[in-house]
């Protein structure tokens, strides 16, 4: 399929619809898929074992202390929240802007968003020493607390993301229900249940279109809120490194950047491992996503300069100590690696057309994703090691932070869990929304509705 291939008549349109549908039907895992799933499951099992140990013995199995009570768990939480913003970017922002090449990317972005936000919610529970007291936050929580705001907004965003994934998915599930033969009974039952007795009626399409329109609008403020509120968890304190009015915009910009990178990485992997997918994720999609990524990277660079240049110019008190640690001190190698490989090099590479070819942009996206994870670590940990109270009398162990194996394995399990959720989605559901793709190709609605499920 060429980019924006358009049918000349109805019969061509019908042919296209059938071809698209057959192309994106879920495929069984090959050998590589099985190895991948086994690997993810193994990481999850090790993480679960260590989480049971953490539940049994408490947070003492981690490297966390009274000083650094937010370590890699919270870094990971912020990372997940950031990634999840991609759903609103691709599905909502590009949809409202009527961008004509976004259709193949919408579903994968929503799946990434849902998986990320689910695990963001879970990892925050993992960080709790007493998760059994979670309910107390709803009973005794203070509406003045940013933590309460964050819980509310995470739950809201998760619900909206699930709905935004589900509504456009219903016609595709119905197609699977009617056309996928030789599948286990449970799989057929699942399609039947989830397809809500879909019959391709005009009324049903009208409802779905209306729901998508509402969701596309409402998800944008909620998405901005989720990452802004997450940034306020930090910015509402006086701590050096966090005491910033720039934090909301800075976090949102970073989130859009890493989210776009995650979609590019997913596109590349799907294109490599599933036949025919290269017809949907074309070089032009990579090129446009590359341009979008470079634009978002520039926005993030702008906020990063604001974030570090102004305090760096003033170099006052505790803030100066914190910045020295980042610029030339203990965290300098990580800080500069993240800035150079996670932002500067991707910007330079993606400015060139050749850099926006699938492989280079995939590599740059991986750099951006890894850089984003470590960037969150640099936001959380160094500041925690600069408390406002004196540290002189603290035991030596409380002055440093080194995540334990248990902590790493639980964190890795959460990442593996998110990847497994995406993988299983791809295994059982069409990853491209054909009816949205057809709309994008200017196929008339009545042709789509009449022929999509035939």
Identify which of residues 195 and 297 has a Cβ nearer to other proteins in the complex.
195
CB of residue 131 to other proteins, shortest distance in Å: 18
Contact 271/281 with Cβ under 8 angstroms? yes
| Ramachandran angles phi, psi of 43, nearest 5° | -65, -40
Q: How far apart are CA 232 and CA 151, in angstroms?
A: 13
Residues in the chain: 454
Q: Around 184, how many Cα atoms within 13 Å sit in the side-chain half-sphere?
A: 5
Among 211, 344, 363, 385, binds other proteins (CB under 8 A): 211
Burial of 315 (0-12, 13-18, 19+ CB in 10 A): exposed
Residue 149 in the binding site for other proteins (CB under 8 A): yes
Residue 141 in the binding site for other proteins (CB under 8 A): yes
Q: Structure tokens of 322?
A: 């914190």
Residue tagged 């990481």 (tokens): 43
Residue 242 in the binding site for other proteins (CB under 8 A): no
CB of residue 435 to other proteins, shortest distance in Å: 14
Residue 199 in the binding site for other proteins (CB under 8 A): yes
**Dihedral, 14, 17, 19, 20 alpha carbons, nearest 10:** 170
Residue 346 C-alpha from the chain's centroid = 19
Among 69, 187, 192, 204, binds other proteins (CB under 8 A): 204
Q: Provide the terminal-to-terminal Cα distance of the chain, rounded to the nearest Å.
A: 21
Residue 163 in the binding site for other proteins (CB under 8 A): yes
CB of residue 323 to other proteins, shortest distance in Å: 29
Residue 160 in the binding site for other proteins (CB under 8 A): yes
Residue 38 in the binding site for other proteins (CB under 8 A): no
Stretch that binds other proteins, among 80-88, 166-174, 279-287, 385-393 (CB under 8 A): 166-174
Q: Structure tokens of 63?
A: 């490297």
Residue 192 in the binding site for other proteins (CB under 8 A): no
Stretch that binds other proteins, among 22-30, 212-220, 286-294, 412-420 (CB under 8 A): 212-220
Stretch that binds other proteins, among 208-216, 331-339, 384-392, 437-445 (CB under 8 A): 208-216
Q: Max CA-CA distance within the chain?
A: 80
Q: How far apart are CA 356 and CA 290, in angstroms?
A: 5
Q: Structure tokens of 78?
A: 């912020």
Among 201, 309, 359, 399, binds other proteins (CB under 8 A): 201
Q: How does DSSP classify residue 88?
A: I
Contact 89/109 with Cβ under 8 angstroms? yes
CB of residue 170 to other proteins, shortest distance in Å: 7
Stretch that binds other proteins, among 102-110, 197-205, 370-378, 430-438 (CB under 8 A): 197-205
Residue 41 in the binding site for other proteins (CB under 8 A): no
Number of residues that bind other proteins (CB under 8 A): 29
Residue 196 in the binding site for other proteins (CB under 8 A): yes
CB of residue 200 to other proteins, shortest distance in Å: 9
Residue 210 in the binding site for other proteins (CB under 8 A): yes
Residue 170 in the binding site for other proteins (CB under 8 A): yes
CB of residue 433 to other proteins, shortest distance in Å: 16
Q: How far apart are CA 233 and CA 277, in angstroms?
A: 41
Burial of 310 (0-12, 13-18, 19+ CB in 10 A): exposed
Residue 222 in the binding site for other proteins (CB under 8 A): yes
Burial of 144 (0-12, 13-18, 19+ CB in 10 A): exposed
Q: Using CB under 8 A as the criterion, which residues of the chain lie in contact with other proteins when the complex forms?
A: 140-144, 149, 152, 156, 159-160, 163, 166-167, 170, 196-199, 201, 203-204, 207-208, 210-211, 214-215, 218, 222
């Amino acid at each position: 399929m060429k980019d924006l291939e358009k049918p000349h008549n109805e019969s061509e349109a019908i042919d296209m619809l059938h071809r698209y549908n057959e192309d994106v039907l879920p495929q069984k895992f090959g050998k590589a898929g099985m190895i991948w799933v086994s690997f993810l499951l193994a990481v999850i099992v090790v993480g679960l074992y260590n989480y049971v140990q953490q539940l049994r013995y408490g947070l003492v199995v981690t490297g966390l202390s009274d000083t650094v009570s937010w370590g890699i768990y919270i870094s990971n939480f912020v990372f997940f929240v950031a990634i999840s913003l991609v759903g609103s970017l691709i599905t909502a922002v590009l949809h409202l802007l009527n961008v004509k090449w976004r259709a193949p990317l919408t579903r994968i972005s929503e799946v990434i968003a849902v998986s990320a936000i689910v695990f963001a919610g879970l990892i925050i529970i993992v960080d709790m020493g007493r998760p059994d007291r979670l309910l107390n936050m709803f009973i005794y929580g203070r509406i003045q607390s940013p933590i309460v705001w964050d819980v509310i907004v995470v739950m809201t965003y998760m619900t909206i993301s699930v709905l935004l994934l589900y509504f456009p998915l219903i016609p595709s599930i119905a197609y699977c229900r009617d056309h996928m033969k030789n599948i286990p009974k449970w799989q057929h039952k699942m399609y039947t249940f989830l397809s809500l007795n879909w019959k391709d009626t005009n009324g049903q399409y009208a409802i779905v279109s209306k729901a998508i329109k509402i969701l596309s609008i409402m998800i944008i403020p909620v998405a901005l809120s989720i990452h802004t509120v997450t940034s306020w968890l930090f910015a509402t304190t006086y701590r050096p490194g966090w005491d910033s009015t720039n934090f909301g915009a800075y976090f949102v910009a970073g989130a859009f950047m890493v989210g776009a990178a995650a979609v590019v990485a997913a596109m590349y992997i799907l294109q490599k491992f599933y036949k025919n997918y290269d017809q949907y994720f074309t070089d032009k999609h990579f090129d446009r996503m590359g341009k979008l990524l470079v634009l978002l990277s520039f926005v993030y660079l702008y906020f990063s300069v604001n974030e570090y240049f102004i305090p760096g110019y003033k170099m006052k008190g505790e803030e100066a100590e914190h910045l020295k640690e980042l610029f030339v001190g203990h965290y300098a190698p990580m800080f500069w690696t993240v800035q150079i490989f996670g932002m500067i090099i991707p910007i330079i590479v993606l400015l060139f057309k050749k850099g926006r070819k699938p492989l280079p942009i995939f590599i740059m996206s991986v750099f951006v994703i890894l850089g984003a994870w470590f960037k969150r670590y640099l936001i959380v940990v160094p500041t925690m090691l600069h408390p406002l109270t004196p540290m002189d009398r603290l035991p030596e162990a409380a002055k440093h932070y080194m995540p334990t194996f248990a902590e790493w394995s639980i964190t890795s399990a959460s990442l593996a869990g998110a990847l497994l959720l995406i993988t299983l989605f791809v295994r059982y559901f069409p990853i491209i929304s054909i009816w949205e793709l057809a709309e994008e190709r200017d196929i008339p609605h009545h042709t789509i509705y009449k022929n999509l499920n035939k």
